[in-house]
Amino acid sequence: MIKIYHNPRCSKSRQGVEYLEKSGAKFEVVRYLDDVPTESELKDIVSYLGISPEELVRKNESIWKEKYKGKILSDDDIVSAMVKNPKLIERPIIIKNGRAVIGRPTENIDKLL
């Protein structure tokens, strides 16, 4: 089953959902601002993406700039920051069978379909 971590207020995230709908694939929507991933889940997502936690952070968010930018942070610190402030998590994230992509651009989703 495909899972998409989605923020309905984000146009790129909405485009990701639409792309999956048009593909005909069955998928589950996780509204991650309401159903925040645990630290363990977020570490799994980072692993599936094959990136560092910092690469999953939306660095233009004011929360990042005010609280975290310029500080020396471990991967665990960054994961913890994203759990406490889920707006920092890049979106949309699409997961299937232990693999994941960030749906920017939406064509990235094809890698999982």
Q: Give the position of tokens 């990042």.
A: 64
Distances (CA, A) of 98 to 37, 49, 52, 59, 111: 16, 9, 16, 26, 13
Catalytic residues: 10
Closest CA to 4 of 87, 64, 75, 92: 92
Which tokens hold the place of 20?
């999956």
Please give the angle made by the CA atoms of 108, 111 and 113, to the nearest 5 degrees: 110
